[in-house]
Amino acid sequence: MKDAPPATETDTGPDAAPDTTPETGPETAPDAPGVIRSHGLVFPADPAVLSPRIRRALRQNAYEKKEFEAISAIVRPRDTVMELGAGIGFMSTVAARLCKVRAVTAFEANPALIPYIRAVHAANGVADRASVRNALLAPEAGAPVEFYIRKNLLASSMEPMQGDRDGGVVATARVEVQSINAVLRELRPSILICDIEGAEADLLPHADLSGLRAAIVELHPQWIGQAGVQAVFDAMHRAGLTYFPKRSNAKVVTFRKGW
C-alpha cells in the first residue's frame, strides 16, 4: 500500500480535515430510515464505514462520479465483471443492479469491510450476482500478509502508520494472497474495474488481460509516477486494449478492444 493521499471530497483517511459541513442540502435525496440513497441504490448508514463526507457525496450522486460514469457507459448486461478494490461495495452494486451484469466478483483486502459490502449487496437485491472476496491479488500466490484495521475503517492498510502508536489500530488480520492470473482464469471476466491505490503499476503488468473486452482503471500518478502510468498503458496494449478517451476522465482511464 502507498502513503495516504491528501484529503479530497470523499477522503476518510487520517489526513482528512475535520468535516463540519451539513450533510443535507438542495441536491440531496431523502433517505429511508437507516440507509443512504444514491443513484437509486441504498447503503446502510453505518458511521463506522460512511463518514459525513461519503454520506454527503452519496446523497448528491457525486461519490466516485468519474468511475460511475465510465461504468454506466461501458458495462453491459452480458458482461462478467472483476473488481479490484471493492471499497464500500459501490461499484460492484452499480454493475450488478444498474448495469445488470451476469456476475461481478469484487476483491477487497480490508477484512473489516467485507460484512458491510455484503450488506450493501443484500440491501440492493444483488447478492445472487455480486460477491466479494477478502483477498489481496499479486503476481504470484504467497503467504498471508498482515493487515492493520483502524478505527477509521477506510484508513486501514497493510502498512503501519505513525498514528497507530496512539491507538489508531484496533485489530490486525492475516489476509490471503492470491495469484491474479489464477483468478482471471477462474472468473473469465470481460470487464475489469481497478482502484487499488497505486498497486496497479505493480500488478497489472503481470496479469493476462487478453480476455477482457474493456478495463476501467483509476490511476494514481502521484504515487506510481510516469513510469508506473506507462506500465499500465503498456499492459493494456499487450492485451489488445486501446485507450478510450471518450470514456476517460482525468485519472480514471478506460481501455477497450476495437473502435
pLDDT tens per residue, range 99-138: 999 999 999 999 999 999 999 999 999 999 999 999 999 9
Res 258: pLDDT: 79
Tally DSSP H helices, then E strands, for the chain. 7, 11
Q: Do 83 and 171 have their domain in common?
A: yes
125 shares its domain with 237:
yes
Q: Determine, yes or no, domain membership for 5.
A: no
Helix (H, G, I), strand (E, B) or coil at 178: strand
- What percent of the chain is modeled with pLDDT above 90? 73
Residue-level pLDDT at 12: 36
Same domain, 244 and 132: yes
In a shared domain, residues 130 and 174: yes
pTM: 0.85
Domain boundary among the residues 63, 84, 117 is at 63
For position 161, what pLDDT does the model report?
63
**Residue 79 domain-assigned (yes or no):** yes
Residue 9: inside a domain, yes or no?
no
Q: Which residue has the higher pLDDT, 234 or 173?
A: 234
Return the pLDDT at 169.
64
Shared domain check, 197 and 111:
yes
- Name the grid cell of 2: 502507498
Interval 18-44 mean pLDDT: 68
Same domain, 130 and 248: yes
Is residue 129 located within the same domain as residue 48?
no
Of the residues 63, 88, 118, the one at which a domain ends: 63
* 14 in any annotated domain: no
What ranges make up the beta strands (E) of the chain? 35-38, 41-44, 80-84, 103-108, 130-138, 142-150, 169-179, 191-194, 214-218, 242-243, 252-256
**Model confidence at 71: pLDDT above 80:** yes
Domain for residue 138, yes or no? yes
pLDDT for 173 equals 87
List the CATH number of the domain containing 189.
Answer: 3.40.50.150
Question: What is the pLDDT at residue 171?
Answer: 79
6, burial (CB in 10 Å: exposed 0-12, middle 13-18, buried 19+)? exposed
What confidence score (pLDDT) does residue 52 get?
93
User: Quick one: 27 and 78 in the same domain?
Assistant: no
Q: Which of 45, 63, 81 is the last residue of a domain?
A: 63
What's the average model confidence in pLDDT over 241-245? 97
Residue 214 counted as domain residue: yes
Task: Check whether residue 149 and residue 182 sit in a common domain.
Answer: yes
What tens digit of pLDDT does each residue of 177-215 get? 999 999 999 999 999 999 998 899 999 999 999 999 999
**Parent domain of 44:** 23-63
The count of domains in the chain is 2
Q: What is the pLDDT of residue 15?
A: 31
Same domain as 178, residue 78 = yes
Confidence at residue 134, expressed as pLDDT on a 0 to 100 scale: 96
**Within a domain: 16:** no
Distance CA 117, CA 199 (A): 21
- Predicted pLDDT of residue 19: 40
pLDDT at 101: 98
Nearest to 168 by CA among 155, 187, 180, 178: 155
The pLDDT score that the predictor gives to residue 156 is 72
